[in-house]
Amino acid sequence: MRQSQLITVFAFIFICLADESKLKVKPASKPVRLFTDEELRRYDGSEAGQPIYMAIKGVVFDVTSGKHFYGKGAPYNALVGKDSTRAVAKMSLNPEDLTHDTTGLTTEELESLESVFTGTYKSKYPIVGYTHRRLLNEDGSPNEDFKPEDQPHFNIRNEL
């Protein structure tokens, strides 16, 4: 056996025989879930004991810890149970803005959206999944531009 092969074999044996309690292996995280609009509507804060979810830019956040803002009867309850990207960008609770559609938003609104998305939601609330629009095109075909490694909170070490 060549020296490099011998080292590889010994490394493999060492890993197999290592005391698991000494290995620093991060436990598997909760799998990321794909939500349809109908599934997301179930998490609108209307049911006690049910988590409260809201999506922005196709990313679904668990906002249950902010139930005094997002729960039933709370000031921002209109935003939950759906992708409210446009409403967040426009800082609006108008029913016509409670959508994922960003068509026609101004540069300032898009900058505001990114600021709130990153500074508030990504930093404060856990990600529980993505909307189907994030992964699929309107015709149902896969979104070739979707890259898990570019998504918020993705860490390749968690995936190995």
Higher pLDDT, 157 or 101: 101
Q: What is the mean pLDDT of residues 75-103?
A: 95
Tens digits of per-residue pLDDT, 140-156? 566 777 665 555 554 43
Q: What is the pLDDT of residue 65?
A: 95
Q: Looking at the domain that runs over 30-135, which CATH code has it been given?
A: 3.10.120.10
Output the 3-class SS for 35-61: ECHHHHHCCCCCCCCCCCEEEECCEEE
Q: For 15-36, how does the pLDDT look when each residue is reduced to its tens digit (9 = 90+)? A: 444 444 444 433 334 556 889 9
Ranges of each domain in the chain:
30-135
Q: What is the mean pLDDT of residues 89-94?
A: 96
pLDDT of residue 54: 97
Secondary structure of residue 81 in the 3-state scheme: coil
The single-letter code of the amino acid at 7 is I
Question: Can you give the pLDDT at residue 141?
Answer: 65
Distance CA 150, CA 131 (A): 16
The upper half-sphere exposure of residue 34, i.e. CA atoms within 13 Å in the direction of its Cβ, equals 7
